């Protein structure tokens, strides 16, 4: 019994899947792809470094599309695993079934029919023959089994054991055989169709492999890459601007792309890989410079149209520092050093400006918050303020709030808000100032009233009733000047009542004093003469008059002389004089409304008079 197996071209499939996986990531990220067959199932393992995390769904979709489009496997089912380099267990997997293209005439699938198809490997070109696994040819059943076993026992160079399901990649691959002792006429047409499909597949695969760069003829791709690299190096000798660096990077990346397009079956593949390593090192240096320039551009863009909040300036500050750090990491012998040093100087100046802006913004925010806090305290104190001391404290608190707002400079985010708060706080502070002035006036009027009342009391003590009356009046006037809505108004009004009573009493005392003064004046005038007629005093509201001895003696002598002479006129004059003196004293008593007592020179009461009697 004979059985045949179709060449699977696993190496070619691995290379195509490797290119697709590499294109999904950066060209500088090392990735690997491995393919194995197990029980009519194609197992694909994709591996990447731990530092790079690809989109698993995108990787699965790309691999499935490649396998579905080119019908690379004889297997009906495909399982794909993703794992990190150095870790045995995969972290993601995906499986699907191959969708076979159906021909117009119902037949078996090309993979099934290929098992009995005649050998077509002899018609392949020599280059393609080298790319196809030498073990995949038509053999006897025993030979095919030995070849399959030999192939599976040679592990992939980078293959690592995988736990559980992924251990399939280390197990021997089973040959794809179908026993057939005889062929019936019924199966001839499917075999022909399968053979034609396999031949077409091999032809297209060969055509694809031969049309890749540097496979046939001279390798122009390497020359083009060298030319682009030289142009890039010239631009990087002394770049005058970041634009030249970007253009040089584009040329260098294009050179790398060209070298990466050269397949591993090309005779120039080794040389291309050597140049690729050199170019990738150069690209890393340029990428470092470009990243610094891009970071600085972001910082400059974010700095536009200030003012900005504190968080924005902190972000800008970090971007400038990052750009400077990247430039300082460039090798000292790099051609980019002149431009790097120029940019470092510029970026440090920009960083210093950003630092100043950040400090100014932080200070302005602090001043703004202090102003708001002071305003809240002022409003709280204003709600309970009563006395002058309370209103003075409220006013000083508002002054602190306004002072903090005035300290906020222009060019900060807090400035506009500070102006709005100033317009809001100023009327409140003016109102408090008016209230404080009113309370100050009330205190002054109240204290002045107290002082005048004390002066009035002192005058009363000295029987200066006219002075006392004036001071009591002024004291009442000052107390009445205390505003009604002031803290001292109630106190002042209570003083007004007592002061008014004191004023009335002072007026009475003043009137009595004035009468007393008039009485004394009248008594003095009455008692005066060439000879002192009398002495007087007012004791306990009684006028006491005492005739002087001299006056009594003179009257007696005059009366005796007139009597001796028999002068009646003289005697009559003396009597009239004594009567007139008595009438004058009684009139004074009536005017003063005080009792009158008259004594002779010896102290004997000679006359009394009660007013109104």
pLDDT digit string (tens) for 92-117?
Answer: 888 888 776 554 333 333 333 332 33
SS3 per residue for 269-298? HHHHHHHHHHHHHHHHHHHHHHHHHHHHHH
The C-alpha atoms of residue 237 and residue 446 are separated, in whole angstroms, by 91
Whether the predicted pLDDT of 157 surpasses 50? no
Q: Taking the CA atoms of the chain, what radius of gyration do you get in angstroms?
A: 64
Residue 602 or 305, more confident: 305
Q: Strands 595-599, 542-547: parallel, antiparallel or unpaired by DSSP?
A: parallel
Residue 222 or 411, more confident: 411
Asked if residues 601 and 552 have their Cβ atoms less than 8 Å apart, the reply is yes
Residue 480 or 175, more confident: 480
Strongest mean pLDDT among 141-155, 157-171, 429-443: 429-443
Whether the predicted pLDDT of 302 surpasses 60? yes
CA–chain centroid gap for 218, Å, is 65
The C-alpha atoms of residue 234 and residue 232 are separated, in whole angstroms, by 5
The C-alpha atoms of residue 496 and residue 486 are separated, in whole angstroms, by 16
Q: Please give the average per-residue pLDDT across 35-61, as a whole number.
A: 84
pLDDT of residue 178: 35
How many angstroms separate the first and last alpha carbons of the chain? 181
Q: Please give the average per-residue pLDDT across 589-605, as a whole number.
A: 87
Nearest to 272 by CA among 305, 315, 226, 212: 226
Q: Please give the average per-residue pLDDT across 294-321, as a whole number.
A: 93
Q: Is 138 helix (H, G, I), strand (E, B) or coil?
A: coil
Determine the topology of domain 443-512 in CATH: Methane Monooxygenase Hydroxylase; Chain G, domain 1 (1.20.58)
User: Given pLDDT bands bounded at 50, 70 and 90, which one contains residue 300?
Assistant: very high
Whether the predicted pLDDT of 75 surpasses 80? no
The DSSP line for 349-402 is: HHHHHHHHHHHHHHHHHHHHHHHHHHHHHHHHHHHH--SHHHHHHHHHHHHHHH
Q: Is 526 helix (H, G, I), strand (E, B) or coil?
A: helix
Whether the predicted pLDDT of 402 surpasses 60? yes
Strongest mean pLDDT among 135-139, 157-161, 201-205: 201-205
- Which residues are bridge partners to 95 per DSSP? 79
Residue 169 or 244, more confident: 244
Q: Please give the average per-residue pLDDT across 440-454, as a whole number.
A: 95
User: Given pLDDT bands bounded at 50, 70 and 90, which one contains residue 280?
Assistant: confident
The C-alpha atoms of residue 525 and residue 585 are separated, in whole angstroms, by 11
Asked if residues 10 and 131 have their Cβ atoms less than 8 Å apart, the reply is no
Q: Strands 542-547, 92-97: parallel, antiparallel or unpaired by DSSP?
A: unpaired
The pTM for the full model equals: 0.47
User: Which helix (H) or strand (E) element contains residue 546?
Assistant: strand 542-547
Q: What percent of the chain has pLDDT over 70?
A: 79
Q: Is 407 helix (H, G, I), strand (E, B) or coil?
A: coil
The C-alpha atoms of residue 67 and residue 77 are separated, in whole angstroms, by 11
Whether the predicted pLDDT of 272 surpasses 70? yes
Q: Strands 77-84, 92-97: parallel, antiparallel or unpaired by DSSP?
A: antiparallel
- Which residues are bridge partners to 536 per DSSP? 545
pLDDT of residue 563: 83
Q: Where are the domains of the chain?
A: 2-210, 220-360, 367-438, 443-512, 528-609
Q: Please give the average per-residue pLDDT across 537-563, as a whole number.
A: 87
The C-alpha atoms of residue 271 and residue 583 are separated, in whole angstroms, by 161
User: Which segments of 20-60 are extended strands (E)?
Assistant: 32-38, 41-48
* Lowest mean per-residue pLDDT among 17-31, 283-297, 345-359, 524-538: 17-31
Whether the predicted pLDDT of 147 surpasses 50? no
Interacting residues of 377 by C-beta distance below 8 A, sequence separation 6+: 397
Q: Strands 542-547, 139-140: parallel, antiparallel or unpaired by DSSP?
A: unpaired
């Amino acid at each position: 019994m004979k059985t045949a197996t179709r060449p699977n071209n696993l190496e070619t499939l691995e290379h195509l899947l490797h290119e697709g996986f590499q294109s999904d990531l950066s060209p500088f990220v090392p990735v690997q792809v491995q393919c194995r067959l197990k029980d009519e199932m194609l197992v694909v393992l994709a591996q990447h470094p731990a530092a790079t995390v690809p989109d698993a769904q995108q990787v699965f979709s790309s691999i499935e599309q490649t396998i579905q489009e080119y019908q690379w496997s004889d297997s009906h089912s495909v399982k794909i695993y993703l794992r990190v380099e150095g870790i045995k267990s995969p972290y993601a997997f995906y499986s699907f079934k191959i969708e076979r293209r159906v021909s117009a005439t119902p037949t078996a699938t090309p993979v099934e029919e290929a098992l009995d198809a005649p050998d077509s490997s002899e018609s392949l070109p020599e280059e393609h023959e080298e790319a196809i696994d030498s073990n995949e040819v038509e053999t006897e059943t025993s030979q095919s089994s030995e070849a399959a076993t030999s192939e599976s026992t040679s592990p992939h160079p980078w293959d690592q054991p995988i736990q559980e399901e992924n251990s399939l990649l280390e197990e021997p691959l089973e040959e794809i055989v179908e026993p057939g002792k005889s062929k019936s006429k019924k199966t001839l047409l499917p075999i022909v169709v399968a053979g034609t499909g396999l031949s077409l597949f091999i032809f297209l695969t060969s055509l694809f492999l031969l049309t890749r760069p540097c496979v046939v003829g001279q390798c122009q791709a390497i020359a083009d890459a060298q030319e682009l690299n030289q142009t890039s190096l010239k631009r990087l000798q002394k770049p005058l601007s970041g634009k030249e660096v970007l253009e040089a990077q584009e040329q260098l990346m294009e050179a790398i792309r060209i070298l990466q397009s050269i397949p591993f079956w090309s005779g120039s593949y080794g040389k291309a890989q050597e140049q690729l390593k050199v170019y990738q090192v150069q690209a890393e240096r340029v990428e470092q410079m470009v990243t610094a320039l891009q970071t600085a551009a972001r910082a400059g863009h974010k700095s536009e149209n200030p003012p900005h909040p504190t968080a924005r300036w902190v972000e800008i500050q970090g971007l400038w520092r990052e750009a400077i750090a990247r430039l300082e990491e460039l090798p000292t012998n790099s051609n980019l050093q002149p431009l790097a040093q120029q940019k470092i100087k510029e970026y440090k100046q920009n960083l210093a400006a950003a630092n100043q802006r950040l400090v100014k913004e932080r200070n302005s925010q602090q001043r703004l918050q202090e102003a708001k806090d002071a305003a809240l305290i002022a409003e709280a104190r204003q709600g309970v303020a009563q006395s002058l001391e309370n209103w003075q404290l409220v006013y000083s608190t508002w002054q602190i709030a306004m002072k903090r707002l005035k300290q906020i400079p222009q060019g900060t985010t807090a400035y506009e808000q500070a102006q709005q708060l100033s317009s809001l706080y100023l009327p409140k502070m003016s109102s408090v100032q008016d209230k404080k002035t009113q309370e100050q006036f009330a205190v002054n009027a109240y204290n002045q009233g107290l002082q005048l009342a004390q002066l009035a009391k002192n005058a009363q003590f000295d029987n200066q009733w006219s002075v006392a009356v004036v001071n009591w009046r002024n004291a009442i006037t000052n107390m009445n000047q205390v505003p009604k809505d002031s803290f001292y108004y109630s106190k002042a009004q209570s003083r007004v009542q007592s002061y008014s009573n004191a004023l009335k009493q002072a007026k009475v005392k003043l009137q009595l004093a004035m009468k007393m003064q008039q009485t004394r004046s009248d008594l003095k005038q009455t008692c005066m003469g060439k000879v002192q007629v009398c002495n007087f005093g007012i004791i306990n509201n009684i006028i006491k008059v005492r005739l002087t001895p001299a006056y009594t003696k003179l009257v007696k002598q005059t009366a005796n002389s007139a009597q001796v002479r028999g002068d009646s006129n003289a005697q009559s004059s003396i009597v009239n004089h004594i009567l007139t003196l008595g009438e004058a004293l009684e009139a004074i008593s009536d005017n003063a409304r005080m009792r009158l007592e008259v004594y002779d020179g010896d102290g004997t009461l000679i006359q009394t008079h009660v007013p109104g009697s």
